[in-house]
C-alpha cells in the first residue's frame, strides 16, 4: 500500500468473514473488501490482485512448472479438517433474511462487478448449463465452468469485431476438438477453458479475464446491496 508492505494476522471473524489486523499499525481490515475498518489506516483499501479459483489439476495444466506450498508438519494439527466448510455452514447467520428473496442465504452465487453494476449468478444455474452469457453494466460477460464441476473462470466476450455469442454445442452438432469447450456463433471458432480460440477464424485470440467471486448469497448481498441477479441472454 503506497509503497508500504503490511503483515497481517487473523484478529477475529465477523459474520463468517475474516477480520485481519496488520502488525505495523494495528489497523483492522475486512477480508471480503480488503478495506480498513478501524485504526490509523481506516478508510484505506488494499489493491486487489487477480486470482484463479480452479482445481490443482487445471492450474497445473496451464502452469506445469508450478510449485505447491505444503502444510507445516510441525503445526498440522492446527489446520482445518476436511469437514470445516460443512461445519461453518451450520453456524447461524446474523444478516436479515428477506422472505421474498428467490435465493436462500447460503445459496452459492458467482458475483461480478463492472462499471458500477453488481450482479450475482446462481451457482446451480451455472452448474446446469456449464456456461452463462450475460451483461454486467455495459460489459458482455461469460461465466464458464470446467467439466470438473469445480473450476470457474469469467471472461469479457468482446473481441475486435464485437461481442461473441459463445455456447456449448448440443449433442449431434458440430464436434469440438480436444480441450475446446465452446463455439461462437459468429465465426464457428472453438474456445478452451483459458478463453483461447484454438480453431477457426479467431484462432490465437484470447478473451480478457474478468474478476468474479464465488460466494454465499447472504455474504455477496451484504457487501453489494445494490446487486441484481443474472441469467442467460442472447
Q: CA-CA distance, 9 to 1, in Å (whole number)?
A: 17
- The answer to whether 169 touches 175, Cβ cutoff 8 Å, is yes
To the question of domain 108-215 being in CATH 2.102.10.10, the answer is yes
Confidence of residue 234 (pLDDT cuts 50, 70, 90): very low
pLDDT tens across 95-152, in order? Answer: 777 788 889 999 999 999 998 899 999 999 999 999 999 999 999 999 999 999 999 9
Q: CA-CA distance, 232 to 234, in Å (whole number)?
A: 7
Sign of the CA dihedral with 64 first, then 61, 149, and 47 last: positive
Q: Which of 106-115, 175-184, 206-215, 221-230 has the lowest mean pLDDT?
A: 175-184
SS3 content of the chain, % helix, strand, coil (to 5): 15, 35, 50
Q: CA-CA distance, 65 to 46, in Å (whole number)?
A: 29
**What strands, in cross-sheet order, belong to the sheet with 108-114?**
213-216, 108-114, 117-122, 228-229
Q: Which of 52-61, 94-103, 185-194, 204-213 has the lowest mean pLDDT?
A: 94-103
Confidence of residue 231 (pLDDT cuts 50, 70, 90): confident
β-pair type (180-184, 166-167)? antiparallel
Mean pLDDT for the chain?
89
Q: Which of 16-20, 169-173, 192-196 has the lowest mean pLDDT?
A: 169-173
pLDDT tens across 39-77, in order? Answer: 999 999 998 888 889 999 999 999 999 999 888 999 888
Using DSSP, state whether 36 is helix, strand or coil.
Answer: strand
Query: pTM for this one?
Result: 0.87
Percentage of the chain with pLDDT > 70?
Answer: 95
Query: Which residues, other chains included, contact 144 with Cβ-Cβ below 8 Å and sequence gap of 6+?
Result: 130, 131, 152, 153, 154, 155, 181, 182, 193, 195
Nine cell digits for residue 6? 503490511
| pLDDT score for 63 | 93
In degrees and rounded to multiples of 5, residue 44 shows phi and psi of -85, 150
HEC states along 190-222? EEECCCEEEECCCCCCECEECCCEEEEHHHHHH
**DSSP-assigned beta bridge partners for residue 119:** 112, 228
Q: Where are the domains of the chain?
A: 8-38, 108-215
Amino acid at each position: 500500500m503506497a509503497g508500504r508492505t503490511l503483515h497481517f494476522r487473523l484478529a477475529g471473524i465477523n459474520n463468517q468473514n475474516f477480520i485481519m489486523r496488520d502488525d505495523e499499525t494495528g489497523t483492522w481490515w475486512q477480508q471480503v473488501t480488503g478495506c480498513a475498518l478501524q485504526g490509523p489506516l481506516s478508510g484505506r483499501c488494499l489493491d486487489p490482485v487477480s486470482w484463479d479459483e480452479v482445481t490443482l489439476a487445471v492450474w497445473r495444466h496451464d502452469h506445469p512448472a508450478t510449485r505447491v506450498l505444503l502444510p507445516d508438519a510441525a503445526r498440522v494439527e492446527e489446520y482445518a479438517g476436511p469437514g470445516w466448510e460443512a461445519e461453518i455452514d451450520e453456524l447461524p447467520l446474523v444478516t436479515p433474511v428477506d422472505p421474498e428473496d428467490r435465493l436462500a442465504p447460503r445459496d452459492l452465487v458467482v458475483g461480478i462487478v463492472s462499471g458500477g453494476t453488481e450482479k450475482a449468478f446462481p451457482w446451480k444455474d451455472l452448474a446446469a448449463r456449464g456456461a452463462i452469457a450475460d451483461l454486467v453494466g455495459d460489459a458482455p460477460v461469460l461465466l464458464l465452468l470446467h467439466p470438473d464441476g469445480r473450476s470457474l473462470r469469467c471472461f469479457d466476450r468482446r473481441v475486435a469485431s464485437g461481442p461473441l455469442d459463445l455456447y456449448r454445442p448440443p449433442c449431434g452438432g458440430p464436434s469440438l476438438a480436444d480441450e475446446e469447450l465452446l463455439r461462437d456463433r459468429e465465426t464457428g471458432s472453438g474456445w478452451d477453458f483459458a478463453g483461447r480460440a484454438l480453431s477457426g477464424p479467431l484462432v490465437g485470440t484470447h478473451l480478457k479475464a474478468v474478476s468474479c467471486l464465488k460466494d454465499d448469497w447472504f455474504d455477496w448481498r451484504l457487501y453489494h446491496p445494490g446487486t441484481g441477479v443474472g441469467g442467460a441472454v442472447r
